[in-house]
Amino acid sequence: MPAVSRSRAPRLPHVPSAAGPPERAVAAPELAELRETTVDWYRTAARDLPWRRPDCSPWGSW
């Protein structure tokens, strides 16, 4: 059986906690980059699961 290749999550820029001091606040462009990087990774690494399909009903995916 062939080995399953799993893509690794990209390294994301460090985002300090919202509870951190104000001088460590994250700038809007950094948040936008983080969001873009994360969404792009999910698009490329997503698996085709039946319950994610638009035609799946709340009562099952069969």
Per-residue pLDDT tens for 23-46? 666 678 888 899 999 999 988 998
- CA-CA-CA-CA dihedral for 51, 52, 54, 58, to nearest 10: 30
pLDDT score recorded for residue 5: 56
Please calculate the CA angle 52-45-9 and round it to the nearest 5 degrees: 130
Is residue 60 scored above 70 in pLDDT?
A: no
Length of the chain: 62
pLDDT score recorded for residue 39: 92
pLDDT score recorded for residue 37: 92
Please calculate the CA angle 43-45-47 and round it to the nearest 5 degrees: 95
Please calculate the CA angle 42-47-55 and round it to the nearest 5 degrees: 105
**Contact 38/12 with Cβ under 8 angstroms?**
yes
Express as a percent the part of the chain with pLDDT over 90.
Answer: 13
